[in-house]
Amino acid sequence: MRDVAGKAALITGGGSGIGRGTVLALAGAGAHVAVADIDAGRAGEVATEGSARGADCIPVTLDVNRQEDFDAARDVMLERFGRIDIVMNNVGLIAAGLPEHIPLSEWERIVSTNLLSVVRSNAAFLPLLLEQGSGHIVNTASTAGLFAYAYERLPYSATKAGVIAMSEALALYLRPRGVGITCLCPGPVMTNIGEGFKMWGPPVRMRGPGKDLAPLAPEVVGEQVLDAIRTDRFLLLTHPELQEVLIARARDPEPWLAGQIADISSES
Ligand SMILES: NC(=O)c1ccc[n+]([C@@H]2O[C@H](COP(=O)([O-])OP(=O)(O)OC[C@H]3O[C@@H](n4cnc5c(N)ncnc54)[C@H](O)[C@@H]3O)[C@@H](O)[C@H]2O)c1
């Protein structure tokens, strides 16, 4: 999709952080945006910010755990914009704690919010995108789903790996049918992600994907997403240097894993 001007986008979790950054980037490039968030106040503020860039941005109150909210958002967009071109599935929550301390009920909550949310979105939007034979999906995963650097957020890592696998397999299906897909794997980004953070058992130290990674502003990531949509790029690493880690692991997983364990041991 070389030009997003006049196109219509939905962004879940659009009221803050990476979602907000992408709303502003798309609106700045002339796209109309439905800012979908469980927090109606935030959705409204970001829609106002986006509209100030000259595009038509509307707030949509949506909980990604509810299929009916996705269906209603689709209907609202068709009524307001008359079209849907870009869908960004961007909500993700972190549950932390040692593996034996995170209960099944919490796993179920994180699987529903981080992974099944994309399934719900697909149910609402894929038939339409396939029928028109055009459009672009962006799924926000995480570096945590690409390789293991911590053991204290298993539901997060597992669901993000699921988003990556689903997105890659969907690329096989969608691209030949005219629909693009990007899997965004952010490294550290300065957002409000800590707000939805839940700790189980005694507090554990949170480990990042790499000591030397500079945290990015969400507006920078928004521009990266816009570029990936325009160039139909599948894997979007906000920190491209992490590709070296993926190469090292693929070359020989055993010494790579031993190295990760040694790093963690040396820190504790
Ligand atoms: N910030 C980082 O360093 C980082 C790194 C890797 C991946 N990510 C991923 O980026 C995505 C966006 O996170 P962020 O860092 O911008 O966080 P954020 O907290 O700044 O924004 C998340 C937004 O999602 C909304 N939200 C929460 N639950 C919702 C629900 N059930 N339905 C609809 N909206 C809901 C919140 O109200 C908030 O506005 C997440 O999937 C996260 O896992 C973030």
Here the tokens at position 254 are: 């055993």
What are the residues facing 70 on neighbouring strands? Answer: none
- As a residue count, the chain comes to 268
Residue pair 204/96 in contact (Cβ under 8 Å)? The answer is yes
Query: How high is the pLDDT of residue 79?
Result: 98
Atom of ligand 1 nearest to the CA of 65: 31
Query: How high is the pLDDT of residue 211?
Result: 85
pLDDT, one tens digit per residue, over 98-135 is 999 999 999 999 999 999 999 999 999 999 999 999 99
Query: How high is the pLDDT of residue 110?
Result: 98
CA–CA dist 233, 254 (Å, integer): 30
Inter-axis angle of helices 67-81 and 117-132, to 10 degrees? 30
13 alpha carbon – ligand 1 mean position (Å): 6
Query: How high is the pLDDT of residue 262?
Result: 95
User: Which ranges of the chain have pLDDT less than 50?
Assistant: none
CA–CA dist 174, 110 (Å, integer): 26
Q: Measuring from atom 7 of ligand 1, which residue has the nearest CA?
A: 142
pTM as predicted: 0.98
